Chain A
Amino acid sequence: MSYDATYTKELPLVPERSSFPELDEVVFKPTETKPTRAWYIAFIISSTALLIGALSLGYTLYYGIGMWGNNNTVGWGFDIINFVFWIGIGHAGTLISAILYLFRQKWRTGIARFAEAMTIFAVMTAGIFPLIHVGRPWLAGYLFPYPNQHNVWVNFNSPLLWDVFAVSTYFIISFLFWGLGLIPDIANLRSRTKSGIKKFFYTILSFGWRNSNRHWQHYERAYLLLAGLSTPLVLSVHTIVSFDFAVSVLPGWHTTIFPPYFVAGAIFSGFGMVATVLIVLRKVFDLKHIITIDHLEKMNKILLLTGTIVGYAYAMEFFTAWYSGYQFEQFVFINRAFGPYAWAYWIMIACNVGFPQLFWFKKIRRSIPVMMIIVILVNVGMWFERFVIIVTSLHRDFLPSSWAMYIPTWYDAGIFLGSFGMFFTLVLLFVKLLPSISLTELKAVTENAQPKNH
């Protein structure tokens, strides 16, 4: 039946310029040419932001965390907001590379490598915050339980400790997953390069890869296992981050929907960030035929889905606060929506639930400028979500005499800026040093790469 074939034929993932040498050229080009002017400008901006962050952090370390806006009532401020924000962004990579892989979504190949790299950089950025949040980061070694002469032990009952384990395990597995996927591509680079120093490093990083049949068999097996391993890990990380809040008795933090709601939010924010950077990347490096508008449309659909799930969670929280008949809970939610931080709440609602609803329309899903605006708003909204959860729940304590407002200082802002600086500096270095698209996987999904019997 002919109409069968036309309907189910998947759109070619690599529509044009798809011969293998041409793909090699376009993907490896950024790693084999000198950086352009635009790259230098971007690098100067992001490393400046990183330096501002380092400076603010230096002041903080020298004078102590009194430099921050945190106070007795609002004990968790920008430090934890930024931690949760960045760790959330670190969820998209593993979702794209592992979960979509298990769901047999082949379109992921074009964006998986890049998203994984972003995951790793986001988790690295996030890792700074709990470290500086403890106030004396040089004592952070005690977070790992080991027998020591002071007989100091961690509190195993605390989700904050589970975070240490979850995040570090997640980082290690994601790093291995990413590194494993890079090996065949680095081997390819090794074979192509003429420069001696590059050859040296690529040779080390490719671990003697020779494209032999046996190598590939092991590679595929390890890839599947790591995908299976990272899937529960990625869910566990944000689940445990949500436990940090939800195990408490604090109204606004203690609610049972937090784990799935945080995971959905993390995927939402991660996709927002990946989409933001991909839109720029595909233009700058001329990858529009590899990261096509169809990819972006599919990402927008996921944004719509996860954004709506987050909206469901907001609604359930609000409804249950009313339904519970628990006056403190009710107060917190009324205060969120109409209190002194109402502006933050409504920014959150508009950016996370409102604007992504525009993705119901196909025209908007496929329009680059509109998409760019919405995904940036998603980033903003998800940062404000953490702000709302943390600050509005804390700033009205049980005793009105302890009520306080939270006003971040310039040092808070500087460290926040620095976190973006660190993230984008790493991203910029990555796109110049390593192939930002998994070439071997991409070749496997080009037209006629797969044997077809029918």
Chain B
Amino acid sequence: MINTKKLSNKIKYTGTACLIIGALLIIFSFLFDAKRAFYNYIIMYTFIVSIAVGALCLIAIEYMSGAAWSVPFRRVNEFLSSAIPFLIILVIPIIPGIHTLYHWSHKDAVDTDPVLQGKSPYLNETFFILRLFICILLWIIFYIFIIRNSRKQDYSKDIALTNKNIKISVLFAPFAVITLTLTSIDLIMSLEAHWYSTIFGIYYLAGTLLSGISAVTLISVLLAQKGYFDERIQRRHFHTFGMLMFALNVFWAYIAFSQYLLIWYADIPEETFWLLKRMNGHWQYFSISIIFIHFIIPFIVLISSAVKTNLNILKFMAIWLLAAHWLDLYWLVMPAFDDHSLAIGWVEAGFPIFTVGIFILLFVYKYSKVNIIPVGDPKLKHGIDMFLYPDLSID
């Protein structure tokens, strides 16, 4: 039953090359400038969490809402979320970096700073590491349960497995929100330990869902264009991907704007220093570009209905939005490293290349083992038949 059409070896070689080049560059960057590399590592880690956990969230949303349109593409989500077990390895390099990255981990700094003293029951190394691992463990547990049921269904075609997964997904939902909130507060917000914003967890969550849906769109479009899917999958199916990318991007912008406006308007020094850093020096140009890259351009491009069924534009915008999420994380993390100028050089290059490598190789591996279409899912036929318009087949 496993996929009859094989992936071309080129993909595997590209993935391996990305992984090796990326890994080498990362090693060199740690040797060259460890501090800067640690900051970049946080970006990479949170980005991988965004895609992997974001994809798992989308699977859970599909089960909870009973959506049928996304069932033919669910395996793509599952393949992406298979990075979750590797997080337990990927998180390890952060631990020796805590001292370099986090001001609150310096005992002498905390001793002279009453604000940090107040936070120390939460921001201390033991609890920090514990939280990181608890989050990962929770993701792994839910990942294993959901994916196992989904795979079993390929052979047993048992409806009870769908019902089981609905229950697990509902349980996962609150945990997903809480764990992503904690991850964002711990890894990103506490880089500037004095700063706080109640919306921060939602801000990261919005970026996570957006990059999750963008990654799924990208891979699904590529597979559909190369003919790896059922021929009944039509351009109309991708309209919904376009809508969701548009909607989640607007949601991200809404959250980002809310955070900005409220801090700017109230103008209290406890909060504004964080924004001021990003509104001065070279960062001001970067901040303004983010508005265009992450919101205005995708908004204008994706608003039209014709674009949402144009697979090439959709593919381009998916890559665009993934890059935008990386830049957004860069914007959140890097001013803590250098509050005046942008650090962009070869040091920054290794991390995204490595990330691309991981996901390609995981995909290739999973593709050789698991059906690309969940053939046993009771909603599959409904999902495929949902849009039967002869004029919109993929050319």
Residues of A within 8 A of B366 (CB): none
Contact A247 B265 (CB under 8 A): yes
- Considering the chains assembled together, what is the distance between the CA atoms of A323 and B388 in angstroms? 53
23 A-B pairs with C-beta separation under 8 A? A1-B381, A7-B378, A239-B254, A246-B266, A247-B261, A247-B265, A247-B266, A248-B266, A249-B266, A256-B199, A256-B262, A256-B263, A257-B198, A257-B199, A259-B258, A260-B258, A313-B198, A316-B198, A320-B196, A320-B197, A324-B196, A324-B270, A325-B118
Within 8 A of A (CB), among B245-275: 254-255, 258-259, 261-263, 265-268, 270
Residues of B within 8 A of A247 (CB): 261-262, 265-266
Instruction: Decide yes or no whether B157 CB sits under 8 A from chain A.
Output: yes
Instruction: Decide yes or no whether B181 CB sits under 8 A from chain A.
Output: yes
Number of A residues whose C-beta is below 8 Å from B? Answer: 33
Within 8 A of A (CB), among B362-380: 378-380
Q: In chain A, what residue has the closest Cβ to B171?
A: A360
Contact B379 A326 (CB under 8 A): no
- Considering the chains assembled together, what is the distance between the CA atoms of A453 and B389 in angstroms? 12
Residue numbers of B with Cβ under 8 A of A are: 68, 114-116, 118-119, 122, 157, 159, 162, 174, 177-178, 181, 194, 196-202, 254-255, 258-259, 261-263, 265-268, 270, 378-382, 385, 388
Contact B381 A4 (CB under 8 A): yes
Q: In chain A, what residue has the closest Cβ to B382?
A: A8
| CB < 8 Å A-B pair total | 88
**Contact (A243, B198) CB under 8 Å given A4-B378, A308-B174, A325-B114:** no
**Contact (A8, B198) CB under 8 Å given A254-B262, A260-B255:** no
- Considering the chains assembled together, what is the distance between the CA atoms of A235 and B258 in angstroms? 12
Instruction: Given contact pairs A3-B159, A260-B255, enumerate 9 new A-B contacts (beta carbons under 8 Å).
Output: A4-B382, A243-B265, A254-B266, A254-B268, A255-B198, A259-B254, A308-B174, A320-B197, A324-B196
Residues of B within 8 A of A4 (CB): 378, 380-382
Contact B268 A249 (CB under 8 A): yes
Contact B262 A258 (CB under 8 A): yes
Contact A256 B197 (CB under 8 A): yes
**Contact (A256, B198) CB under 8 Å given A235-B254, A312-B177:** yes
**Contact (A323, B378) CB under 8 Å given A258-B262, A316-B201:** no
Q: In chain A, what residue has the closest Cβ to B178?
A: A312
Minimum CB–CB distance from A221 to chain B (whole Å) comes to: 13
**Contact (A320, B378) CB under 8 Å given A3-B159, A256-B259, A308-B174:** no
Instruction: Decide yes or no whether A37 CB sits under 8 A from chain B.
Output: no
Q: Which one of B202, B270, B378 contacts A257 once the chains associate, using CB atoms below 8 Å?
A: B202
Instruction: Decide yes or no whether A454 CB sits under 8 A from chain B.
Output: yes
